[in-house]
Structure 1
Amino acid sequence: MGDQTPFVSFCLALSKFKPYLAIISLQFGYAGMYIITMVSLKHGMSHYVLAVYRHVVATIVLAPFAFVLERKIRPKLTLPVFLRIMALGFLEPVLDQNLYYLGMKYTTATFASATVNILPAVTFILAIIFRLETVNVRRLQSLAKVIGTAVTVAGAMVMTLYKGPIINFTSGGAGSHHGSSVDSSDSHFFTGTLMLIGSCFGWAGFFILQSFTLKKYPAELSLSTLICLMGVVEGAAVSLIMERDMSAWKIGFDSRLLAAAYSGVVCSGIAYYVQGFVSKQKGPVFVTSFSPLCMIITSALGVIILAELVHLGSILGAILIVFGLYTVVWGKSKDPPSSAASFTDEKAAAQELPITCKSINVDDNNIDGPGGMLKTNQAKSTLTQGA
């Protein structure tokens, strides 16, 4: 049994850190999406069409896995669950992504990725409203979550209302090269910021509704596939209304195809599954708690690849957002384990009980004799400690 202890410890540690590794990997995927999408939008691709093609790719990729891997565990699709899937297909694939793409087009990829850092605060507020999170101001962790949320919102306001001087991280004549684009961006900067904030509310609502839906329909791959499919249907309807020119739907072997394929596979297909899996274990607030990592990666890529100009207000606001965000995360980490985690721990303990019982020898003859009840209680106490 001693030989199994390191292996069991490794498995437990891997299971504990699996949600962290999954979410961190997802942030790298999102950072790449921001850069590739920005390039395709600058080349004239319609954000409405991009959102539709993105979910066409995601549906094609996810459907075979969902059909094969979850054919035995997939629950029946009822009308209430279908209505929720329709709402999920509108909140993220249509509302969030179109507002985000348009907001990023009016600002920059770096600013857009930084604005997304208000997502945990928005999700936390909605989670309190829908009773997925509890707040007790007498406890330090609850107070930290409230203060962190307020600081995060303040950071977003700084980024929105104050631009400040340009911080040039690159050498050369970057300022003159991007002068016209900066002026064009300035004229729509405030509108673009409001769109980015609106996209965060749509995304946060998606996380909350996804948590509720998974309780009724606990099949992550199938649910992700259905969300992508509804995103295609609803997004196509919106696109046909907003984009009257049919030439906008043309796509070739260029950055447009790369943006649709990459964002569809990584940021819709894989992301919906990973977010559902982690949200089921850790809750929707945890899923959104690693956004600053994506902001750092995107900022570095934006300066290097796109030669974007960073303003002082964006840096100051991002610092406040990161500080407030990790205050929320610290408070969240001090919360008691959720019922799902407790259930998992109970299952693990139940699996270990037979092994522990074999190592305890109880004399059956003494149980019926004098003091037998005391020995039995001692054996139970030892068993509890071993488990």
Structure 2
Amino acid sequence: MVIFVLLTYASLFGAAFILPFALINERGKWREMGWHATGWIFLNAFIGYALPMSLYCYGLLDTTSSYAVIFLNLIPLATFILPVLFRMETLRIWSVVGSLKVAGVLFSVGGTMLISLYKGKALHLWNPILKNHPKEQTTEGASNQLRGTIFLLGSSFTFACWYLLQSKVLKVYPYKYWSSMATCLVGGLQTAIIGIILNTDKKAWKLGWDFDLVTILYSGALATAGKYCLNSWVVVKRGPTYPPMFNPLSVVFTILLASIFIGDEITVGSLLGTTMVLVGLYTYLWAKSKEVRDE
């Protein structure tokens, strides 16, 4: 599928999926969505959906699923660094907690770099369930991987900005279902406009009863609607830096499932790098929880 077609349909279906929850649980609250809140939601949709998802899909196109998911680990690191830079959070670097947080950040970044730069021996643990499509190691492939890496880095950074922006949106308009529905709707319209400009072929927008439709339904209901609603709920309860700290679990599941189903290689480098990322991030989580208890 054309990437912007997929993103448009997934986002619009996600909005339709959330709408009944908004009508039932937040009846009539859409009337409180003034121009100020609308402006923030428009920015929220662009920073939180249209831009990062486009970059992520293009990065995924140039790499593999198990490689792309590693970059989700940069999101919690960026959500840690950005509040410090903008003085939204104080970093007590000379304290034990502050030192552990910095160590966790550096360890996680090192693990991500290790996965990117070092492959090592491939571990053929099982035969894939679906047909494997091996990639030849060519100069073009290396160039595409570099381009994909740049796209994935951009996606992770904009996603991190979205978590901080989401907390602002919920202060301006504190209704998670309507704000999530509006974000999905506006994000779908944004990607539709970009998609129409880049691809004028009407056939690209036609849907059939095939795997493309399954992908859209899954992406719309769970990866878009479910993700935005749950993230909004957790941001209200625990703050913007809490939800992305669970991204490392995506790495474990994706590398394992990609190997089982489509035959992506599990390498020594990916195992070592993933271990470093997990240790670093959960060191940070432990330090963060201790910091909250001490306060």
| Superposition pairs of residues 91-106 of structure 1, within 5 angstroms | 91-106=47-62
Q: Distance in 1 between matches of 2:2 and 2:12?
A: 15
The one-letter code matched in structure 2 to 1:252 is G
Question: 1:308, 1:182 → 2: CA distance?
Answer: 14
Deviation of the 1:329 alpha carbon = 0.7
Superposition TM-score, scaled by structure 1 size: 0.70
Contact 1:75/1:217 (CA < 8 Å) preserved in 2?
Answer: no
With 231-240 and 329-338 compared, the bigger mean Cα shift is at 329-338
Residue 310 of structure 1 deviates from its aligned partner by 2.8
CA distance in 2, matches of 1:312, 1:242: 40
Deviation sequence 1:131-164 (CA, Å, 0-9, x none)? 4432112322222112211222222222223333
Number of residues paired by the alignment?
A: 293
- 2:264 matches 1:308: yes
Of 71-80 and 282-291, deviating more is 71-80
1:154-193 matches, cutoff 5 A: 154-171=110-127, 178-180=133-135, 183=138, 185-193=141-149
Paired with 2:294 and 2:233, the residues of 1 have a C-alpha distance of: 15
- Where do residues 97-116 of structure 1 align in structure 2 (5 Å cutoff)? 97-116=53-72
* Distance apart, 1:66 and its partner CA: 0.9
Instruction: Give the deviation of 1:225 after TM superposition.
Output: 0.5
**What residue is the counterpart of 2:74 in the other structure?**
118
Q: Scaled by the length of structure 2, what TM-score is found?
A: 0.91
Q: Please, which of 220, 224, 231 is the counterpart of residue 264 of structure 1?
A: 220
What corresponds to 1:250 in structure 2? 206
Larger Rg: 1
Q: Per-residue displacement from partner, 1:52-109 (whole Å, max 9, x unpaired)?
A: 1110110111112212311255572232321111111111221111111111121111
**Displacement over 6 Å in runs of 4+:** none
CA contact (8 A) 1:167 1:310 kept: yes
Structure 1 unaligned runs (5+)? 1-44, 340-387
Asked if the contact 2:44–2:169 (Cα under 8 Å) also holds between the matched residues in 1, the reply is no
Distance 1:336 1:73, change over 3 A: farther
| Equivalent in 237, 248, 252 of residue 193 of structure 2 | 237
Q: Deviations over 1:38-63 (max 9, x none)?
A: xxxxxxx1111111111011011111
Quick one: which amino acid aligns to residue 53 of structure 1? Answer: Y
Unaligned runs of 5+ in 2: none
**Root-mean-square deviation over aligned CA pairs:** 2.4
Query: What percentage of residue pairs aligned between the two structures are identical?
Result: 31
In 2: Cα distance, 1:72 partner to 1:100 partner: 35
Name which of 222, 225, 239 aligns with 2:178: 222
Partner SS for 1:163: coil
Q: Distance in 1 between matches of 2:133 and 2:27?
A: 53
Structure 2 distance, partners of 1:268, 1:337, is 33
